[in-house]
């Protein structure tokens, strides 16, 4: 293998040097969410900083966040696009959406709209070619469907990202149907295969967090 596996010690080094703001924001937002019983399944602090860096690098102004949870990825991206930019965040759970809206308000973040309902239906109602960046991070069995809609919604030259592309370390395995992660792992495997095959995408999996598939779209 080329490269160096990430250890806890190295992760901590990276956060201490580069992601303390992201850690502080996560601390505040997750504390409010934990009280509401929301699971801690958000992106990591290093991923947050990477996305913040990346959105600045491409000058993103309009971002779609598929899967809000308590609003962490939305908040990170809202701060990255600046006051003249906007984030549309899609969430199925009314509780998650409510806590996310409260969290964003408490953080003084005004440029996120959280839409409640099934993300795929919401995406299908949107006009094409308007987003600079789309983060897919909701229910895994719909990942392929989100990817297909994202390809329509993203502008030419924009970037689509899918979290959990390493599928909790199981992406390269043949999982058995009795594995509790079977549905999610096989859905991610199918998503990655379509992501890699899709002619309009120039992509790679970045091994950060649980892996992020990222591809620039050439329409």
Ligand X SMILES: C[S@@+](CC[C@H](N)C(=O)[O-])C[C@H]1O[C@@H](n2cnc3c(N)ncnc32)[C@H](O)[C@@H]1O
Q: Which residues are at the interface with ligand X (CB under 6 A)?
A: 41-43, 67-69, 72-73, 90-93, 96, 118-119, 137-139, 142
3-state secondary structure of 68: coil
Nearest alpha-carbon partner for 189 in 205, 202, 178: 205
Cα–Cα distance for residue pair 11/49, rounded to 1 Å: 12
Task: Please identify the residue of the shown chain whose CB is closest to the bound ligand X.
Answer: 67
CB 38 within 8 Å of CB 108: no
Q: 95 or 157, CB closer to ligand X?
A: 95
Q: 89 or 192, CB closer to ligand X?
A: 89
Q: 21 or 139, CB closer to ligand X?
A: 139
Cα–Cα distance for residue pair 194/192, rounded to 1 Å: 5
Smallest distance from the beta carbon of 219 to ligand X, in angstroms?
25
Smallest distance from the beta carbon of 184 to ligand X, in angstroms?
11
Q: 90 or 213, CB closer to ligand X?
A: 90
Nearest alpha-carbon partner for 217 in 207, 203, 196, 197: 203
Smallest distance from the beta carbon of 158 to ligand X, in angstroms?
18
Q: 18 or 200, CB closer to ligand X?
A: 18
Q: Considering just the CA atoms, what is the radius of gyration of the chain in Å?
A: 17
Largest CA distance in the chain: 48
């Amino acid at each position: 293998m080329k490269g160096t596996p990430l250890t806890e010690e190295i992760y901590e080094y990276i956060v201490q040097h580069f992601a303390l703001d992201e850690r502080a924001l996560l601390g505040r937002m997750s504390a409010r969410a934990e009280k509401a019983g929301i699971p801690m399944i958000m992106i990591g602090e290093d991923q947050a900083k990477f996305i913040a860096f990346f959105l600045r690098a491409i000058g993103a102004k309009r971002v779609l966040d598929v899967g809000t949870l308590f609003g962490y990825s939305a908040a990170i991206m809202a701060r990255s696009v600046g006051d003249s930019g906007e984030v549309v965040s899609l969430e199925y759970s009314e509780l998650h959406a409510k806590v996310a809206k409260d969290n964003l308000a408490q953080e003084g973040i005004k440029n996120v709209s959280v839409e409640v309902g099934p993300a795929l239906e919401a995406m299908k109602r949107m006009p094409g070619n308007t987003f600079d960046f789309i983060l897919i991070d909701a229910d895994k069995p719909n990942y392929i469907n989100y990817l297909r809609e994202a390809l329509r919604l993203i502008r030419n030259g924009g970037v689509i990202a899918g979290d959990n592309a390493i599928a909790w370390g199981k992406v390269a395995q043949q999982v058995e149907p009795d594995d509790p992660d079977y549905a999610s792992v096989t859905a991610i495997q199918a998503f990655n295969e379509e992501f890699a095959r899709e002619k309009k995408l120039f992509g790679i999996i970045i091994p950060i967090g649980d892996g992020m598939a990222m591809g620039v779209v050439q329409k």
